[in-house]
Amino acid sequence: MLITCPYCGPRDVIEFTYQGDGNRERPQPASQDLDAWNAYVYDRLNPAGDHNEIWQHSGGCRAHLRVVRNTLTHEISSVAFTRGHHKVAARHKAEGKI
Amino acid sequence: MSPRRTDAGGRIDRLRTIRFTFDGAAYTGHAGDTLASALLANGVTLFGRSFKYHRPRGVLTSGVEEPNALVTVLRGEVREPNIAATMVEIYDGLTAVSQNRFPSLAWDISAANQLGGKLLSAGFYYKTFMGPAIGPLKSTRFWMFCEHFIRRAAGLGRAGTAADTARYERMNAFCDVLVVGSGPAGLMAARAAADQGARVILSELEPRFGGSANWSAETIDGMPGADWAARAAGQLEGYDNVRLLPRTTVWGYYDGNTLAALERVTDHKERPGKGEPRHRYWIIRAKSVVLATGSFERPLVFPGNDRPGVMLAHAAERYANEYGVLPGHRIALFTNNDSAYRSALALKKAGAAIVAIVDVRPELSSEMRELADEAEAKSLAGHAVVATEGGKALSGIKVQRFDMVNGALAGDQRSIQADCLLMSGGWSPTIHLASQAGAKAEWNAARQAFLPPKPTQQWPTRRWIGAGAFTGSFSTAEAIAEGRAAGLSAAGGTGTPAALPVVEAAPGDPDPAPVFEIRADGKSFVDFQHDVTAEDVRLAHREGFISVEHLKRYTTLGMATDQGKSSNIPGLAIMAEALGKPIPEVGTTRFRPPFSAVSIGSLAAERFGDLKAERLTPMHDWHVANGATMYSAGLWYRPMIYGHPGETIEQAYVREARATRESAGIVDVSTLGKIAVQGPDAAGFLDRVYTNMFSTLAVGKARYGLMLREDGLAFDDGTTWRLGEQDFLMTTTTANAGKVMQHLEYFLDVIWPELKVHVTSVTDQWAGAAIGGPKARAILAACITGTAVDNAALPFMGIVHGKISGVPVMICRLSFSGEMAFEVYSGAGYGTHVWEALIDAGKPFGLVAYGLEALGTMRIEKGHVTGAEIDGRTTARDLHLDWMLSKKKPFIGSAMMDREGLIAPSRLELVGLISLDNQPLSGGAHIVEALDQANPHDSIGHITACCYSPALGKYIALALVKDGKARRGTRAHISDPLRNRFGPVEIVSNHFFDPDGSRMHG
Ligand SMILES: [Zn+2]
């Protein structure tokens, strides 16, 4: 499986660490809503098809990426930073690095 | 009569004689022989004993699909079991032995199992050993009793116990076009792609390129197929953009057109060349893939089809034409299709007599009749073989009239003398890789085979183009045309009008008759390796196993090391007949990697042996030079003890720990994880990450911190130093350094991207030495400049900066040993310099260097926790660290840590144990309330760490014990049946030594 890191370009999956389901919504830190916490920590959709996932390019730039991966075909339809490194990525793209 | 070498012919080098042994007997063969061909040439017909019934078995095939002729190859002390003799190239000194026989191959005690055939029929294991105990001969406990005997009687080769000393390598490769298989289709595809300028890799699992061209009697462009293939491969060798990989099996097809392959680099050599690995594991990323993997001939299912001397038709043709070996003198054939007639003619030309061609079809084409005449064979159309005769070799067959429409046998049985019977049940394309790539095979009624699906049904991340027999195009002319088209298309070319090579081949219809089994009395084998008969398949059906996946598991059909390469389709056909359904409705199982056996060593490759990565601390060489026994912890190497001559490990660590508590000791702590946490929001971030407060920490001070996971369980601990208002140095345990870093990065990147914090791993930037003991401060004072280290300048958890021997250092007064102690950090490059300066300064004070064992001993005495206690199942409360859980702020894990199950009174809690019989305690031992061998008590916990405590003069341990706090002062027992250690202990507080901390506070 190849993941195209917006910094580094297409890289093999062994450079990445799966950091969990991207659909999880963390309750506010002070929230006492145990059901919401339980859902965040344990409940997963496990869809057959497109799935939002968080991957870290741990063997590369170490950025966390929001990846949409098809669980049936492993096709990756979108990769984006979880936080704003967009300017750097745009520059890399303009310079033809990725 | 027995098989023999022909006088001429074959692709072997008759001038080179090679000596090898099989079951201790010496044989010779020629360069180019496989173990199977060489043994056949020596007249050997018996290769092994079958899995369940210990029936004598010969060799069925000539290639990777071989189910019968499995051997163990010995290299020195190393034994490799379950290798197909058809895939072993002989070399001088090759030592191979047969398997699954006792006491010898020819005379086997367990062959008596054949008489008790019913006992071992389908589902035997499930029926006999699973489920509740009803009567004495049932249940899993009975299985445990019988297992030893059954495993000895039923089985394959025995694995060795010697360490594998061979080297393995891993190789990453990239190409535009990967061509799998080098028959005429693969050779044409590689050439066409290469001519387009594409970077091409051509892999072939056999030693020779050419596939069927190496043994068929066809000519291509006017020359023998083998010569044409050799020329084509030779030309490809001259291309800079082509890499040829012989002896390389592509065994896995993964996403993004990533394919895994195993190259057997030196298995065929007496010894590897300098630097050569035994196997090379290739990870090939290909823009496009051409699958030209050919097809497997299928056996027919009839009574006695497993007798030595019964072989696949093309295999015999191959032995004759490629290896110059005749598998018999009087050869009979049994077929449902035309391809066997070509085999008959080839064997006739090689010198055998063809006594009969038994064909299930009532009518034969005029071409087949002519081929039979040319082979001088008696043609028996509308007949079937119903029995084979002989013992360890075939002596004859029985045939009978057969109606292929209803499967009925009629008329008298006729005996035909033959020493070899060749069978052909049609051909199955080798679609394994396409199936791995997600393709659902499609049944083709004409070919009576599953064919790969159309490219439109492929997964987008795994795209391939098929060519040749793989697609069901069984003629060489079609293979050549499809191969070129596939190569062009894979390379993105548009095609050249050059003429295709011209093939001259015997005629033949590629479609077989839909006959898979002849039902007559006797055992008819479907899966030769797992001894699954046609009757087993029907029995499974009668017992309600109607899904093909269930059938497979119940009968174990296709689950042996050959993964059913020869048995899947016949088994499915018999199942379909039992169900009264057409084959495509019964479906087929999906193939999974690996295509054939893969050495574990190749998968581990650089991760062990001399290629394994190592992490060494800056002071590593000093430790080694000063007598340290190094201990591997993850990738790190750390001193275990600095032993004196004649000392045991226990004597060494006790001496080191005692000296530290009496004067002073120094230990290398450079392996601790170190993370710089910096930025305007750093303090607030640490408040969220740790259970306790860090925003209140003064600059120049350190604090012990505990982290939880999101689910409220303990995660890691360590000290964090505030070096500046926005500048913290976090330390983590050695083992969790990477995990903690990822944890912090995750929260900053994903959960709280608004926080202005930057985290940087600085583990390798700092060297650390912890010096502790009553004399530690005096030693430090003797060598430090630029700062005082007294209580006022450097209070407990204070930080100062100074210089030691001219080198800037940062010192924090904190303690893991329980003594007054200081962690001295310097730049990694000065680690040894500072360490040596401390050692020098410590000499007058009796300073000793100590290792992990003494470190562990002192921490057990103090009751501090490490990864053995923070094991992913314990909470802060379990470890008596609830005083660290701030109530003033939320933190990671705070919402989940108070859940019912995590505060239940029955939880395992940290305690100390003291051995009451003055014997060592053992790590991992269970704790029980009373010892009763006959009626063992439930475990109430287990030991996490143990040692001899010089401070207490006793053997002690830390343990996690159910409701442990309440049990303090009571007695229990350790129970360690594996090491036969049972004994009484007293449960005490985990703080054994100096519980009020007066020593470290000074
Ligand atoms: Zn990256």
Burial annotation B180-219 (CB, 10 A radius, 16+ → b, else e): bbbbbbbbbbbbbbbbbebbbbbbbbbebbbbbbbbbbbb
What does the pLDDT average to over B626-647? 95
Question: B744: CA distance to ligand 1 center in Å?
Answer: 17
**Residue B464 to chain A, least CA–CA distance (Å):** 15
With beta carbons less than 8 A apart as the criterion, state whether B58 and B525 touch. Answer: no
**Residue B903 to chain A, least CA–CA distance (Å):** 15
pLDDT of B382 over the 70 cut? yes
| 3 state SS of B562 | coil
Q: List, in order, residues 6 or more apart from B408 with CB less than 8 Å away.
A: B402
Residue with tokens 């305007």: B680
Residues of A in contact with B287 (CB under 8 A): none
B890 touches chain A (CB under 8 A): yes
Interface test with A, best of B675, B687, B689, B749 (most A CBs within 10 A): B749
pLDDT score for B111: 61
What does the pLDDT average to over B235-246? 98
Burial annotation B580-616 (CB, 10 A radius, 16+ → b, else e): eeebeebbbbebeebbbbbbebbebbeeeeeeeeebb
With beta carbons less than 8 A apart as the criterion, state whether B465 and B486 touch. Answer: yes
Of A15, A26, A60, nearest in space to B894 by CA: A26
User: Tens digits of per-residue pLDDT, B457-508?
Assistant: 677 777 899 999 999 999 999 999 999 999 999 999 876 667 899 999 999 9
Strand B799-804 relative to strand B784-785, pairing: antiparallel
- At residue B99 the predicted structure's pLDDT band, cuts being 50, 70 and 90, is confident
Most distant pair of Cα atoms in chain A: their distance: 48
User: Tens digits of per-residue pLDDT, B805-819?
Assistant: 999 999 999 999 999
Whether residue A30 and residue B890 make contact (CB cut-off 8 A), yes or no, is yes
Question: B843: CA distance to ligand 1 center in Å?
Answer: 50
**Domains of chain B from N-terminus onward:** 1-122+130-156 (3.10.20.440), 169-295+429-496 (3.50.50.60), 310-425 (3.50.50.60), 515-579 (1.10.10), 616-670+765-858 (3.30.1360.120), 673-761 (3.30.70.1400), 903-1002 (2.40.30.110)
With beta carbons less than 8 A apart as the criterion, state whether B954 and B915 touch. Answer: yes
B24: left (phi over 0), alpha (psi -120 to 50) or beta: left
- CATH of residue A77's domain is 3.30.2270.10
Least CB–CB distance from B255: residue in A1, A17, A62: A1
Inter-chain CB pairs, A–B, below 8 Å:
67
pLDDT of B894 over the 70 cut? yes
Residue with tokens 């002690």: B956
User: Six-digit token pair at B191?
Assistant: 């050439």
With beta carbons less than 8 A apart as the criterion, state whether B50 and B531 touch. Answer: yes
Neighbours of B997 (CB within 10 A): 13
Length of chain A: 98
Residues of A in contact with B285 (CB under 8 A): 2, 12
Amino acid at residue number B982: F
Distance between CA atoms of residues B907 and B901, nearest Å = 8
Q: List, in order, residues 6 or more apart from B890 with CB less than 8 Å away.
A: A29, A30, B688
Question: A80: CA distance to ligand 1 center in Å?
Answer: 11
Neighbours of B934 (CB within 10 A): 4
Per-residue pLDDT for chain A (98 aa), expressed as one digit of tens each? 889 999 999 998 989 999 999 999 999 999 999 999 999 999 998 999 999 999 999 999 999 999 999 998 888 999 999 986 556 556 666 776 55
Of B618, B616, B671, B721, nearest in space to B866 by CA: B671
Amino acid at residue number B187: L
- At residue B649 the predicted structure's pLDDT band, cuts being 50, 70 and 90, is very high
A48 touches chain B (CB under 8 A): no
Helix axes B568-579, B548-555, angle to 10 degrees: 120
Whether residue B750 and residue A27 make contact (CB cut-off 8 A), yes or no, is no
- Please state which of the ranges B263-267, B603-607, B691-695, B824-828 shows the lowest mean pLDDT: B603-607
B710 touches chain A (CB under 8 A): yes
With beta carbons less than 8 A apart as the criterion, state whether B910 and B958 touch. Answer: yes
More confident: B612 or B829 = B829
Whether residue B749 and residue A63 make contact (CB cut-off 8 A), yes or no, is yes
- At residue B634 the predicted structure's pLDDT band, cuts being 50, 70 and 90, is confident
Beta bridge partners of B767: B826
B739 touches chain A (CB under 8 A): no
User: Tens digits of per-residue pLDDT, B137-165?
Assistant: 555 555 555 555 555 555 678 888 888 88
Distance between CA atoms of residues B310 and B59, nearest Å = 8
pLDDT of B923 over the 60 cut? yes
pLDDT score for B605: 85
User: Tens digits of per-residue pLDDT, B6-50?
Assistant: 998 899 999 999 999 999 999 999 999 999 999 999 999 999 888
User: Tens digits of per-residue pLDDT, B765-777?
Assistant: 999 999 999 999 9
Sign, Cα dihedral of B476, B481, B482, B483 = positive
Question: A7: CA distance to ligand 1 center in Å?
Answer: 5
**Residue A98 to chain B, least CA–CA distance (Å):** 18
Residues of A in contact with B259 (CB under 8 A): none
Neighbours of B369 (CB within 10 A): 14
Residue with tokens 């869809």: A47
Complex ipTM, two decimals?
0.92
| 3 state SS of B889 | coil
User: Tens digits of per-residue pLDDT, B723-753?
Assistant: 999 999 999 999 999 999 999 999 999 999 9
Q: Can the peptide bond before residue B995 be classed as cis, meaning omega within 30 degrees of 0?
A: no
B746 touches chain A (CB under 8 A): yes
User: Six-digit token pair at B234?
Assistant: 């030779």
pLDDT score for B668: 98
Beta bridge partners of B27: B20
User: Tens digits of per-residue pLDDT, B184-205?
Assistant: 999 999 999 999 999 999 999 9
Strand B766-772 relative to strand B664-668, pairing: antiparallel
With beta carbons less than 8 A apart as the criterion, state whether B345 and B370 touch. Answer: no
Q: How far apart are the first and last CA of chain B?
A: 95
For B415, the enclosing helix (H) or strand (E) is strand B408-417
Of A44, A29, A41, A43, nearest in space to B899 by CA: A41
- At residue B676 the predicted structure's pLDDT band, cuts being 50, 70 and 90, is very high
With beta carbons less than 8 A apart as the criterion, state whether B397 and B389 touch. Answer: yes
Distance between CA atoms of residues A44 and A25, nearest Å = 11
Distance between CA atoms of residues B658 and B666, nearest Å = 13
Distance between CA atoms of residues B287 and B277, nearest Å = 28
Residue with tokens 């990769």: A79
Structural domains counted in chain A: 1
pTM for the model: 0.84
A52 touches chain B (CB under 8 A): no
With beta carbons less than 8 A apart as the criterion, state whether B961 and B940 touch. Answer: yes
User: Tens digits of per-residue pLDDT, B121-141?
Assistant: 666 656 655 555 455 455 555
Of B541, B604, B616, nearest in space to B572 by CA: B541
Length of chain B: 1002
B900 touches chain A (CB under 8 A): no
What's the whole-number average pLDDT of chain B?
A: 92
Could you list the residue range(s) of the whole structural domain that residue A48 is in? 2-94
With beta carbons less than 8 A apart as the criterion, state whether B599 and B167 touch. Answer: no
Question: A60: CA distance to ligand 1 center in Å?
Answer: 5
**Residue B696 to chain A, least CA–CA distance (Å):** 20
A4 touches chain B (CB under 8 A): no
